[in-house]
Structure 1
C-alpha cells in the first residue's frame, strides 16, 4: 500500500477548511485525528500532538469508545517518542479505561440478548402447551378458551414491555456509574501527576546544584586551610542531609522527626557556608511527639531557603536571626518561619527586585503543592500565608496542616 502522507495531509487541510464552515464536530474530530495519525507516521510528533489535541476538543457523544481509544493510543505513542513519559502513561491509562468501558457495554448487550431469547423460548413453549390443551378441550368451551388466550397474550406483552423498560433503565444506570468512575479515575491520575511534578520541584529546590556546589566548595576551603575537623563535620552533615532527602522523597507523608532533622541540618549547613552570618533556633511545643506525627516532606525547606538567601544574607546586615517554630492547635499543626531580614516589601534596588521575583517562584510552588494536597485528600486541609513583621523588618511565613499520627 502506498504511503503518500504528504498528499493525504494536503487533502485533510482542505477538508478541515470546508468543515470549519459546517461546524460538524464528528467530521472535524475524524479529520483532525487522521491528520494527527499521518503526522505521527512521518515522525512529526509535536505537530501530531497539536492535531490530536484539536481532535480531542471535538469529542461528542456520537464518537464511539473505539475511536476515542485509538486517539488516546496515538497520544501515548507521540508523547513517549518525545520522552514525556508522564503524559504517555496518563493517556495509556485513558486508553485502557476506554477499552474496558467498551468491553463492559458489549457484555451487557450480550446478556440482554440472551435474556430476550430465553424469554421468547419460554413464551413459545407456553403457547405450545396452551395449544395442546385447546385441542383436547371440549368444543363447548372454545369461546372461553379463545378469550383466555387473548388475555394471556396481552399479559405476556405487558411482561415483555415491563422487562424491556427495566433492562433499559438498569443498563443506563450501570453506564452512568461506569462513566462517573472513569471520570474519577482520570481526575485521580491528573492529581497524582500534578503531585508528583510538585514533589520533584521540591526535591530540586532542596538539593539544587548551586547548594551542592557551594557546600563542596566550603569543604574544599576548610581542607585547604587544614581545618580537617570542620571539613569532616561538614561532610557528615551533608551526607546525612542527602540521605534524608532521598529517603523522604519517596513517601507522601514522613515522620516529623526525620523532616525536622533535615530542616535543622539544612539550616546548619547554610550557616556554616556563610560563616555564621546569622543565628538560628528551632522551637517546638511540649505536647508534640515528633516520632508519631506525620508531615508532607520538603514543604517547609523552601521557606527557610527564602528567609536565608533573600532576607538575612541580602546586604550582609548584622544581627540576622532565623526562628523556626512548630505549634499544635486543635486538629492542626502549624510551622512558622520568621526572620528579621530586609522583608518582602523593601525592594528598592535592582538586586532586591530580583530577589522578590525569585522568591515568588518558590512561594508559588508551595501554594501549588498545598492546593494539590487539599484536592487529593478529602479530609486533609492545608493553608499557607506570608506577611511582613509589624515593624516592617523581616518576614513571617506560616504553614498549617492537618494533624496526622501513625496508627
Structure 2
C-alpha cells in the first residue's frame, strides 16, 4: 500500500513538473513572440516615419529646384530686358550725337572755310567710325572710350579755334578689360564746352579722369568755366531754351546699369569755387560699378 502511494505521489509530482515545465516553456515562447511583435511594430513605425520624411525631403528638393529654375528664368528675363533697354537708349544717343556733330561741322564751315572744314570732316569721319563700331556693344574697354573722347575733344578744339585745352588721365590700376557703356561721358564733356567754357569767352581747360575706388569706377569731367549755377541762369534767360535729351538719356542709362549689376550708380554735379568763393568751374562725378568687357 505504501509503495502504491509512493508511486502515485511520484507520478503526480512528475505530472506537475511536466505541466509546470510546459507552462514555463509556453511563457517563454509567448514572451519571445511578444518581443518579436513589438520589434516588428517598432520597425514598421520607423519605416513609415522614414518614408514620410523621405517624401517630404524629396518634395522640398523638388520645390527648391523649381523655385530656383523660376528665379533663374525671371532673372534672365530681367537681364535681357535691361540689356535691350540699354541698347535702345544707346540707339537714342547716337542720332543725338551725330546731329550735334553735324551742327558743329556746319558752323565750322561757315566760320573757317574749306581747308579747315576738310580737316574737321576727316576727324568727324574717324569719330563716326568709332561710334558705329562701339554701337554694337553694350560695354567697351575704357581705352576705347578715351579714344572716342580724344577725337571728340579735338573736333571741338578745331570748331572753337583752340578756345580750350584738355587732358585725359587714367589710373594705372585700371585693368585693360575694365569697361563702361559707350558714349557715357560725351554728353558731360559737351556740356562742359558749350555751357561752361564757351560762355566764359576766355581760354579754358577740361580734364577727364578715370580712377578706381574700391569696387567703384570713378569718372570725372572737370572744367574751369562759368559754373553750373550761372550756366542754368543763362539757359533760363535764353530764348532758345531746350531740354538736354542726352543728359536725360544718360541718367536712364545709369539706372539701367544699376538694375543690371544690382550695384549703386549715380552722377554728382558740383560747382567749383575759388579762394574768394566765386564760381570757378564745374565737376561731374560718375560713380559706376566695376564691369568688364568680357561680361
TM class, shorter-length: 0.5 to 0.7
Does residue 220 of structure 2 align to residue 336 of structure 1? Answer: yes
- Partners of 1:156 and 1:263 lie apart in 2 by 78
Per mean C-alpha deviation after superposition, the further-off stretch among 258-267 and 230-239 is 230-239
Higher mean Cα deviation, 167-176 or 236-245?
167-176
Deviation at 1:358, TM superposition (A): 2.4
Matched, 1:196 2:80: no
TM-score w.r.t. structure 1 length? 0.52
Partners in 1 of 2:145 and 2:169 — Cα distance? 13
Equivalences for residues 97-136 of structure 1 within 5 A: none
Aligned to 1:358: 243
Whether the aligned pair in 2 keeps the contact of 1:325 and 1:337 (CA below 8 Å) is yes
| Alignment partner of 1:233 out of 119, 129, 132 | 119
Q: Indicate the residue corresponding to 2:62 in structure 1.
A: 174
Give me the whole-angstrom Cα distance separating, in 1, the residues matched to 2:144 and 2:175. 8
Take 1:216 and 1:349, find their aligned partners in 2: how far apart are those partners? 24
Specify every segment of 5 or more residues in structure 1 that has no aligned partner in the other structure, as ranges.
Answer: 1-139
Q: Is the 8 A contact 1:222 1:231 kept in 2?
A: no
1:195 and 1:382, CA in 2 relative to 1: closer, same or farther beyond 3 A? same
- Residue 397 of structure 1 deviates from its aligned partner by 0.5
In the alignment, which of 197, 208, 226 is matched to residue 325 of structure 1?
Answer: 208
Residues 219 and 235 of structure 1 are in contact (CA less than 8 Å); yes or no, is this contact kept in structure 2?
no
SS for the counterpart of 1:338 is strand
- Which residue in 1 is equivalent to 2:189? 304
For residue 133 of structure 2, the aligned residue among 238, 242, 247 is 247
- Paired positions, count: 260
Would you say 1:159 and 2:47 are equivalent positions? yes
Partner of residue 270, structure 2: 387
Greater helix share, structure number: 1
CA contact (8 A) 2:267 2:287 kept: yes
Q: Per the alignment, do residues 384 and 192 of structure 1 end up closer, same or farther by CA in structure 2, a change over 3 Å counting? A: farther
CA distance in 2, matches of 1:348, 1:254: 36
Q: Are residue 210 (structure 1) and residue 99 (structure 2) matched?
A: yes
Deviations 1:150-187 (A, max 9, x none): 75355234312321232223312431343244234423
Contact persistence 1:259–1:298 (CA under 8 A): yes
Give the corresponding residue for 1:294: 178
CA distance in structure 1 between the aligned counterparts of 2:238 and 2:108, rounded to whole angstroms: 31
Q: Is residue 268–residue 284 contact of structure 2 (8 Å, CA) maintained in 1?
A: yes
Cα shift readout 1:226-261 (whole Å, capped 9, x = no counterpart): x2x433322222222122222223334322221101
More strand by share: 2
Question: Deviation per CA, 1:293-319, whole angstroms, max 9, x where unpaired?
Answer: 522022211211222333344xx4411
Following TM superposition, by how much is the alpha carbon of 1:373 offset from its aligned partner in structure 2, in angstroms? 2.9
Residue 143 (structure 2) aligns with:
257
Whole-angstrom CA distance in 1 between matches of 2:101 and 2:207: 23
SS of 2:48's partner is helix
Q: Distance in 2 between matches of 1:395 and 1:356?
A: 20
1:310–1:184 Cα change, 3 Å: farther
Cα distance in 2 for partners of 1:339, 1:183 equals 46
- Cα separation, 2, equivalents of 1:186 and 1:348: 46
What root-mean-square deviation, in Å, do the aligned CA atoms of Structure 1 and Structure 2 show? 4.0
**TM-aligned CA deviation for residue 320 of structure 1:** 5.0
Report which stretch shifted further, 251-260 or 194-203.
194-203
Listed as ranges, the gaps of 5+ residues in structure 2 are: 1-27
CA distance, structure 2, for counterparts of residue 392 and residue 210 of structure 1: 31
